[in-house]
Amino acid sequence: MISLATPRLVLRPWTDADMETFVELCTDPEVMAFIGDGSPRTRAEAEARFARLVPSWEADGFGLLAIEEIDTGAVAGFVGLGVPDFLPEMLPSVEVGWRLLPSFWGRGLGTEAAAAMVDWAVGQPTIDEVIAIIRIENSRSHRIAAKLGMDRRRRTIIPGHRVWVDVYGVSAAQWAQHGGAELEFSTDDPRGPASGDARP
């Protein structure tokens, strides 16, 4: 797994101590309102998913990272990459996802974390493009995609849940040209030299 740093955040590997925050992220109805069918996960489902977070990095070479706020040391949520098996028409592809606890919303942290993740992703030789799959009602996430400079590629339905989503995308070439250009985006680690981007 990797670590990335932005001005206010460290995106880092999971530790056992993060499990309660991960469970909170997956079981909070407000957080989950526009994810999947819009219903929160059970604690058992969240714990089972937590156990798969590290193995997914080993299997795919990417996955989710914990978002830690530098000033407080608090875990705000996660950002990361996955394969969107739930939307077969977009396969093969790599999806970026983001999820924060509500107390961290509204300060630009979601965009800051997502920009760092996309920047890392498109630097990987095996990833030509990153997509984002966003429920049409999820205004905050549409705004993040726009701020990242992602194009809206199509509107479609998730077969398993019968919900409408917009699919956004940004290619490595697009990102190099203008991705995140409207953001005050940096992965310079305020604590010193970069904390590394070695492959797992």
List residues near ligand COA by CB under 6 A. Answer: 31, 34-35, 77, 98-100, 105-111, 134, 138-141, 143-144
Q: How far is the CB of 117 from ligand COA (least distance, A)?
A: 12
Give 57 or 78: the residue with its C-beta nearer to ligand COA: 78
Q: What is the DSSP letter of 108?
A: S
Give 3 or 140: the residue with its C-beta nearer to ligand COA: 140
Give 20 or 200: the residue with its C-beta nearer to ligand COA: 20
Distance (Å, whole) CA 24 – CA 77: 9
Q: How far is the CB of 101 from ligand COA (least distance, A)?
A: 8
Residue 78 in contact with residue 99, Cβ under 8 Å?
yes
Q: Is 54 helix (H, G, I), strand (E, B) or coil?
A: helix
Give 2 or 35: the residue with its C-beta nearer to ligand COA: 35
Give 6 or 141: the residue with its C-beta nearer to ligand COA: 141
Q: Is 11 helix (H, G, I), strand (E, B) or coil?
A: strand
Q: How far is the CB of 141 from ligand COA (least distance, A)?
A: 4
Q: How far is the CB of 115 from ligand COA (least distance, A)?
A: 9
Q: 48-53 contacts: CB < 8 A, separation 24 or more? A: 49/22, 50/14, 50/18, 50/19, 50/22, 50/23, 53/14, 53/22
Task: Report which of 41, 17, 20, 18 is spatially closest to residue 31, judged by C-alpha positions.
Answer: 41
Residue 64 in contact with residue 78, Cβ under 8 Å?
yes
Q: How far is the CB of 52 from ligand COA (least distance, A)?
A: 19
What residue number has its CB nearest to ligand COA? 110
